[in-house]
Amino acid sequence: MITEALLYAATLPLTGKTCRKFIRHSVDLWSRAGRCAGDWADHEEKSRNAIRAAVAGLRQKRTAVVLGSGLLRDVPIEELARDFDTVVLIDLVHLASVRLWLAAKGYRNVRPIERDLSGYDDLAAGQEPEPLGFLRDVPYLDFVVSANLLSQIGRGVKRRHEAEATGRMPEDTVERLIAAHLVGLWGLSCQYCLVTDVAYAVIDRNGKTHEEADLLHGVALPPAKAVWTWPVAPLGEESKDYRIEHKVIASW
């Protein structure tokens, strides 16, 4: 708890006021990733491999954008920083530990940017959401990866939507904003890679599934080129009696 508190305190002054409410979630994710490092290793490596496969055939490697860069555990940042002229990391929060690691590595061509990628505020203002529309203004853009982000957008939007007064937001807000992210990727003139968890299951120690859910709320996805299971909460993480597994797909 002391380490988490120190990380929170170090990240606070580095984060814009509008994004500070998300620091706690990022610290919690950092803490769980440390506890579950062994169980998450395969998922993280398969995520990195999908991104590597997506960039393998690129003739030009000028600018790469990582949407949902997070802890950088599931992104081959060393290779991206080596091969691309510029790498832009976009997320709500960039923890002080991540910033310090990047500085220690001397990655002068890696730029972290805070941004809400959900499109919620645009939809609330009555506008057609284009959460990835800003990418049209990124010069020399050759590659974009959405890295284990899409289901997080869905969960965050669902929480905000449920807290709103009835009728303020469209009933299909969650589905529309998930779809808007996908449309934004599909509309790019450069190569993209989508890595996202699409469903979860709660499974007891005897292997019986007690609960399942679609994390993308029925929104259609492109054909997957890779599929795997991510043990998000192994036995003992949330309960000694059950584990939580997510199904993950990659497409490019």
Q: Are 54 and 225 in contact (CB under 8 A)?
A: no
Query: What's residue 168's pLDDT?
Result: 85
pLDDT beneath 70: ranges in the chain: none
Query: What's residue 51's pLDDT?
Result: 98
91: amino acid identity, one letter:
D
Query: What's residue 166's pLDDT?
Result: 78
Residue 157's CATH number: 3.40.50
Long-range contacts of 222-230 (CB under 8 A, 24+ apart): 222/182, 222/186, 222/194, 222/251, 223/251, 224/249, 224/250, 224/251, 225/50, 225/53, 225/250, 225/251, 225/252, 226/46, 226/49, 226/50, 226/250, 228/42, 228/43, 228/46, 229/43, 230/40, 230/43, 230/197
Q: How many domains in the chain?
A: 1
Residues in the chain: 252
What pLDDT, in 10s, does the model give residues 151-202?
999 999 999 999 887 778 999 999 999 999 999 999 999 999 999 999 999 9
Question: What pTM did the predictor assign?
Answer: 0.95
Q: Where in the sequence is the domain holding 28, given as residue range(s)?
A: 2-251
Structure tokens at 187: 């509309």
Query: What's residue 62's pLDDT?
Result: 98
Query: What's residue 131's pLDDT?
Result: 97
Which one-letter DSSP state was computed for residue 128?
A: P
Query: What's residue 182's pLDDT?
Result: 98
Q: 99 exposed, middle or buried (CB, 10 Å; 0-12, 13-18, 19+)?
A: middle
Query: What's residue 154's pLDDT?
Result: 94
